[in-house]
């Protein structure tokens, strides 16, 4: 029942978004041709969809690769076959069999077979292979797999898991070519972008543009409608807005969401040409602490930061009010798996006014550093991170932590974080791979999680995360996640959840058939999008 | 020079006096920033975009920081960058220019080609490239501006030294057996110093502009530092709704550059014998 409520809430959100996005009417026939223009908010750098976590990497390669399953472009709430034409699950819920399409070719003309799926799974599930998104999701679930024949693959799970099919359908779990892996070693470079998707990788000009062109041998007949997609790389907010106002962008659907002031400006300049819509973002903003280095290897200092950060101030001043503060799970996405907001907002750290929490935070800092402590706060210099980080630095100063801000170019920042070469990340957003409540804990809090940059490890959290994944009874599952949230909100934590981000996007009215996916990562292949003339 | 002398000089060169007054004012503001600023410059404790009024004389910015306090502290940062980079850059240029002109030959040829290369690159592009390599920090801004200033100063000083080198008193000093070091220190350097002082004053305004430009482009001072250029950059997103956030740091940059330019012009006039004798 509760699970149904959660599903209904997501479906309602998608439906609300769809009602506002210009869709093709029943009478309209899709028109072929045209190049869709949009933007990526940072230069992706390395393009390996399996090893990288930045959203720009996923955006840059979304139309190039296919998965076994994906979210139906016509109805993104539904998961359908992509490279697998169908799949079956065993009665005990522990074995899934995927039957592959036989008519698929890679962009270089090589045939697609089960060997490619096997090479992909071998790569993703190898214990030494670092795959912070797809691999991190699948490794704890999958016991093994085998190729039944040239076009059938069977995957066995450790235990029944309701998040397995959404994970396989996730935009990060794409199937890559065995012969390309053998040739290039990884998928980092543009020449390794050989997929089976609706578009071919045409051009990557660092810091400027990424272009796709139509795959005329795509295995789904009749699509794509577009001749290509052009992604401009626009890093600064004012440049992005200027490009949108000047009509260089037909679609703003990924990241960052539009601020209210930006929506007002766009509607003043292009009000008759565009439709503004809201869509689920399912992305969390967080301050992260390196728990392996002083001073945040000390639990008291972590608690001090947790108490001292004023989430509401950051959201109001730097995020235009477009986020829901404090919660570890977004009730709009996961329903009553999330703790009630009223409960969270009364807890230390989130409660307002902040005086009591700041006093306690100062006391904790002074206990270990009577004269305060100097640290370096790192951020990637993208979107509104710089503004948020300045507020974090200002708030830390109030509790005796003097932070110096250090900015990094997007890809360089991820590299630093991945190596653990930081003390505090002043802000970092993480988009969820699926809408399952386990996602945020799998990505950010579990030992070894892909976005657990501070290398935090807590046995109780790991145990609860494991229980939450395995539990099939939804009421018991909800209890596990409530316990997990209460523990993280009141005991120890590797950082501070600032809030779940909300926001608006726009599409030009001539962009038809674009449907937002259940997460920001889904349904951005533009396979069925077309441009009305 | 006593007060009466200063007053006479001010009457003779009123624009220079105005420049000196502005620069003195900026130096005082920078030195007394902790006393003059009513709030810490990084403290975002107030409501955002409060219009100028009795509580906040220059309003608050998009993060709720007092703009007046940031402008005051920004003077300290701008003058630090301006004075430090110019002092180091022009001094390096002085030594470089004297060495290359006095030594002549191959050393002059090689070093002048380096100067040619550096001067062939547009200064702002060179500064951006340097900052991209060095990373955003105040000290790195100083290094970048030093690298911009030193070659041009070296070229200017070299041209002066080439003229001095052929004068009779240098020939006489050498004929009397003076060492080259003595000739440079006792005869060349004193004659180059007026040009050095002019270069110092004229380039402080340029360095302040360069720092503001780099910070405006996000490659200068770290974003939370109260830099006038950085404040301008942050203000661009609310030009229509909160114009004061852009107005005051913009005025501060203009005033500082104006002051240093007037002062530099006055120094140049005083040290140029043709202008001093009314021949210019």
Whether the pLDDT of residue A196 is over 80: the answer is yes
Tell me what pLDDT residue A22 has.
Answer: 56
Give Dmax (Cα) for chain A. 72
The arithmetic mean of pLDDT across residues B87-97, rounded, is 95
The helices-and-strands tally (H runs, E runs) of chain B is: 13, 0
Check B237 against A381: CB less than 8 A apart.
no
Inform me whether the C-beta atom of residue B238 falls under 8 Å from chain A C-beta atoms: yes
* CA-based nearest residue to B224, from A403, A37, A436, A431: A403
In our burial notation (b when 16+ CB lie closer than 10 A, e otherwise), range A293-331 reads: bebbebeebbbbbbbbbbbbbbbbbbbbebbbbbbbbbb
Whether the pLDDT of residue A14 is over 70: the answer is no
The arithmetic mean of pLDDT across residues B173-193, rounded, is 91
Inform me whether the C-beta atom of residue A239 falls under 8 Å from chain B C-beta atoms: no
In our burial notation (b when 16+ CB lie closer than 10 A, e otherwise), range A12-44 reads: ebbeebbebbbbbeeeeebeeebebbbbbbbbb
Q: What is the interface pTM, i.e. ipTM, of the complex?
A: 0.79
Check B45 against A394: CB less than 8 A apart.
yes
Residues of chain A with Cβ-Cβ distance to B48 below 8 Å are 316-317
The arithmetic mean of pLDDT across residues A322-338, rounded, is 90
Among B residues 94-153, those touching chain A with beta carbons less than 8 Å apart: 135-136
DSSP per-residue letters across A85-154: EEEEE-TTS-EEEEEEPSS-B-TTSPBP-HHHHHHHHHHHH-TT---TTHHHHHTTTEEEEEEEETTEEE
pLDDT band at B237 (very low <50, low <70, confident <90, very high): confident
Whether the pLDDT of residue B238 is over 70: the answer is yes
Nearest by CB: A390 against B40, B44, B48: B44
* CA-based nearest residue to A239, from A248, A228, A230, A250: A248
The percent of residues above 90 in pLDDT, for chain B, comes to: 60
Q: What is the mean pLDDT of chain B?
A: 89
Å between A395 CA and nearest CA of chain B = 8
Inform me whether the C-beta atom of residue A387 falls under 8 Å from chain B C-beta atoms: yes
Is B261 within 8 Å of B81 (Cβ atoms)? no
* CA-based nearest residue to B68, from B82, B55, B83: B55
pLDDT in tens, A24-78: 555 689 999 999 999 999 999 899 999 998 899 999 999 999 999 999 998 888 9
Which residues partner with A495 through β-bridges?
A288
- How far the first Cα of chain A sits from its last, in Å, is 46
pLDDT in tens, A224-258: 999 999 999 998 888 899 999 999 999 999 888 99
Check A317 against B48: CB less than 8 A apart.
yes
Check A406 against B238: CB less than 8 A apart.
no
pLDDT in tens, A455-511: 999 999 999 998 998 888 889 999 999 999 999 999 998 999 999 998 899 999 999
Is A255 within 8 Å of A501 (Cβ atoms)? no
The arithmetic mean of pLDDT across residues B214-223, rounded, is 87
Nearest by CB: A390 against B40, B63, B136: B63
In A236-322 the beta strands, taken as DSSP E runs, fall at 251-252, 274-278, 283-289
Cβ-in-10-Å burial (0-12, 13-18, 19+) of B179 comes to exposed
Check A261 against B241: CB less than 8 A apart.
yes
The arithmetic mean of pLDDT across residues A371-391, rounded, is 93
pLDDT in tens, B4-26: 777 887 788 889 899 999 999 99
Whether the pLDDT of residue B278 is over 60: the answer is no
* CA-based nearest residue to A434, from A226, A173, A206: A173
């Amino acid at each position: 029942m509760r699970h149904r409520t959660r599903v209904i809430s997501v479906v309602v959100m998608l439906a609300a978004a769809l009602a506002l996005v210009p869709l093709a009417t029943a009478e309209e026939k899709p028109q072929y041709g045209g190049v869709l223009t949009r933007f990526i908010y940072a230069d992706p750098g390395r393009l390996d969809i399996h090893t990288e976590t930045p959203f720009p990497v996923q955006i840059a390669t979304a139309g190039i690769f296919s998965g076994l399953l994906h979210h139906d472009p016509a109805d993104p709430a539904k998961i359908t076959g992509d490279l697998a034409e169908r799949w079956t699950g065993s009665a005990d819920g522990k074995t899934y069999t995927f039957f592959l399409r036989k008519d698929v070719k890679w962009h270089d003309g090589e045939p697609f077979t089960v060997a490619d799926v096997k090479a992909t799974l071998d790569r993703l599930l190898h214990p030494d292979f670092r795959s912070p998104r797809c691999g991190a999701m699948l490794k704890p679930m999958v016991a093994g797999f085998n190729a039944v024949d040239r076009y059938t693959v069977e995957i066995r799970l450790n235990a029944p898991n309701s998040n397995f099919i959404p994970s396989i359908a996730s935009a990060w779990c794409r199937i890559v070519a065995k012969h390309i892996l053998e040739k290039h070693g990884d998928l980092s470079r543009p020449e390794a972008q050989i997929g089976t998707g609706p578009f071919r990788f045409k051009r990557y000009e660092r810091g400027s543009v990424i272009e796709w062109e139509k795959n005329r041998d795509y295995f789904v007949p009749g699509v794509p409608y577009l001749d290509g997609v052009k992604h401009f790389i626009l890093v600064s907010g004012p440049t992005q807005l200027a490009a949108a106002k000047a009509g260089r962008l037909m679609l703003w659907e990924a990241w960052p969401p539009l601020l209210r002031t930006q929506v007002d400006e766009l509607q003043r300049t292009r009000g008759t040409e565009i439709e503004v819509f809201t869509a689920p973002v399912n992305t969390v903003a967080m301050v992260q602490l390196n728990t392996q280095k002083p001073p945040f290897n000390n639990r008291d200092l972590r608690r001090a930061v947790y108490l001292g950060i004023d989430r509401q101030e950051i959201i109001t001043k730097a995020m235009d009010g477009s986020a829901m503060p404090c919660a570890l799970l977004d009730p709009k996405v996961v329903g009553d798996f999330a703790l009630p907001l009223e409960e969270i907002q009364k807890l230390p750290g989130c409660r307002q006014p902040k005086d009591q929490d700041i006093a306690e935070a100062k006391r904790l800092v002074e206990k270990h550093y009577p004269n305060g402590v100097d640290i370096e706060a790192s951020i990637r210099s993208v979107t509104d991170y710089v503004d948020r980080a300045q507020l974090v630095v200002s708030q830390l100063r109030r509790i005796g932590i003097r932070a110096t801000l250090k900015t990094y170019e997007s890809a360089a920042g991820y590299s630093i974080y991945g190596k653990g070469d930081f003390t505090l990340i002043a802000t970092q957003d993480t988009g969820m791979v699926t809408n399952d409540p386990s996602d945020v804990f799998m990505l950010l809090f579990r030992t070894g999680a892909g976005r657990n940059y501070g290398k935090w490890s807590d046995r109780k959290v790991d145990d609860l995360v494991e229980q939450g994944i395995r539990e099939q009874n939804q009421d018991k599952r909800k209890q596990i996640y409530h316990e997990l949230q209460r523990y993280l909100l009141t005991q120890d934590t590797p950082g501070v959840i600032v809030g779940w981000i909300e926001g608006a996007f726009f599409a030009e009215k001539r962009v038809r058939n674009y449907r937002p996916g259940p997460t920001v990562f889904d349904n951005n292949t533009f396979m069925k999008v077309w441009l009305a003339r | 020079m006593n007060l009466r002398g200063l007053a006479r000089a001010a009457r003779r060169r009123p624009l220079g006096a105005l420049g000196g007054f502005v620069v003195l004012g900026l130096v005082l503001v920078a030195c007394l920033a902790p006393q003059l600023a009513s709030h810490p410059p990084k403290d975002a404790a107030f409501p955002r975009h409060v219009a100028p009024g009795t509580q906040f004389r220059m309003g608050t910015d998009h993060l709720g920081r007092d703009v007046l306090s940031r402008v005051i502290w920004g003077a300290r940062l701008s003058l630090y960058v301006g004075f430090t980079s110019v002092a180091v850059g022009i001094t390096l240029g002085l030594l470089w220019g004297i060495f290359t002109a006095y030594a002549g030959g191959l050393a002059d040829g090689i070093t002048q080609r380096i100067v040619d290369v550096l001067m062939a690159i547009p200064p702002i592009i060179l500064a951006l490239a340097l900052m991209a390599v060095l990373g955003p920090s105040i000290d790195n801004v100083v290094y970048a501006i030093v690298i911009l200033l030193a070659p041009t100063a070296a070229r200017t000083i070299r041209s002066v030294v080439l003229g001095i080198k052929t004068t009779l008193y240098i020939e006489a000093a050498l004929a009397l057996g003076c060492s080259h070091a003595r000739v440079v220190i006792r005869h060349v350097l004193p004659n180059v110093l007026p040009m050095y002082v002019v270069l110092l004053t004229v380039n402080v305004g340029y360095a302040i502009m360069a720092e503001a430009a780099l910070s405006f482009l996000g490659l200068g001072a770290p974003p939370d530092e109260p830099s006038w250029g950085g404040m301008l950059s942050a203000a661009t997103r609310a030009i229509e709704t909160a114009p004061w956030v852009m107005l005051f740091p913009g005025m501060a940059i203009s005033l500082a550059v104006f002051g240093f330019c007037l002062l530099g012009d006055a120094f140049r006039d005083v040290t140029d014998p043709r202008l001093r004798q009314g021949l210019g």
